[in-house]
């Protein structure tokens, strides 16, 4: 399933999925609320979720989907590598975090991987998490007792 507020992005991703022998498009949504409803109706294995959408944003939708349907895997697919967005998406339950500049083969591999519980992180997302790990929040240092 694809959840993105830009029709052109949904159309491009749909074409990509339809061209893959082993991937199937079961639904589309233009915002987070629609994505949650569509998950209830179609029960996809994997959702490609944009994060910046009007109404219910992607991270909120990821959390709602993860809580209601823990067997559905959600891949955050966005243009934004910022640390706070990476943390929000993964903290909400996204299995993977990819940027929209991802190649077709890598995206297909991430979808296949997510369907069996394997995570994929864009290098920029991994770097954001690494930076955060080097600078833990004040007061949360494990050496403080």
Lowest mean pLDDT among 7-11, 59-63, 125-129, 131-135: 131-135
Q: Is the pLDDT of residue 38 over 90?
A: yes
In a domain, 66, yes or no: yes
Query: Is 142 domain-assigned?
Result: no
Please, what sign has the CA dihedral across residues 29, 33, 38, 44?
positive
Residue 63 placed within a domain: yes
Residue 60 falls inside a structural domain = yes
Residue 12 in tokens: 């491009």
CB-based contact 3:33 (threshold 8 Å): no
Cβ neighbours for 25, distance < 8 A, ≥ 6 positions apart: 1, 2, 14, 17, 18
The total number of structural domains in the chain stands at 1
Which residue segment(s) compose the domain that 95 sits in? 2-134
Residue 145 lies in a domain: no
Average pLDDT of span 15-30 = 94
pLDDT above 60 for 143: no
Q: Establish if 45 belongs to a structural domain.
A: yes
Q: Are 30 and 16 in contact (CB under 8 A)?
A: no
Question: Is 143 within a domain?
Answer: no
Q: What pLDDT, in 10s, does the model give residues 77-89?
A: 999 999 999 999 9
Q: How confident is the model at residue 129 (pLDDT cuts 50, 70, 90)?
A: confident
Sorting pLDDT into bands at 50, 70 and 90, what band is 94? very high
Which tops the pLDDT comparison, 10 or 145? 10
Among 20-24, 38-42, 110-114, the range scoring the smallest mean pLDDT is: 20-24
Q: Where residue 94 sits, what CATH number does that domain have? A: 3.40.50.2300
Domain contains 29: yes
Mean pLDDT, the chain, rounded, equals: 92
């Amino acid at each position: 399933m694809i959840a993105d507020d830009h029709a052109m992005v949904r159309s491009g991703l749909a074409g990509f999925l339809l061209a893959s022998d082993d991937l199937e498009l079961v639904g589309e949504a233009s915002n987070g609320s629609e994505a949650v409803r569509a998950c209830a109706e179609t029960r996809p294995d994997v959702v490609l979720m944009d994060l910046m959408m009007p109404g219910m944003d992607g991270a909120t939708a990821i959390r709602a989907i993860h809580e209601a349907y823990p067997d559905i895997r959600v891949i955050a697919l966005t243009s934004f590598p910022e640390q706070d967005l990476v943390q929000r998406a993964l903290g909400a339950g996204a299995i993977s975090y990819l940027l929209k500049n991802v190649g077709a083969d890598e995206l297909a591999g991430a979808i296949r991987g997510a369907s069996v519980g394997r995570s994929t992180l864009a290098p920029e997302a991994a770097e954001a998490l690494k930076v955060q790990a080097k600078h833990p929040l004040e007061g949360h240092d494990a050496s403080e007792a």
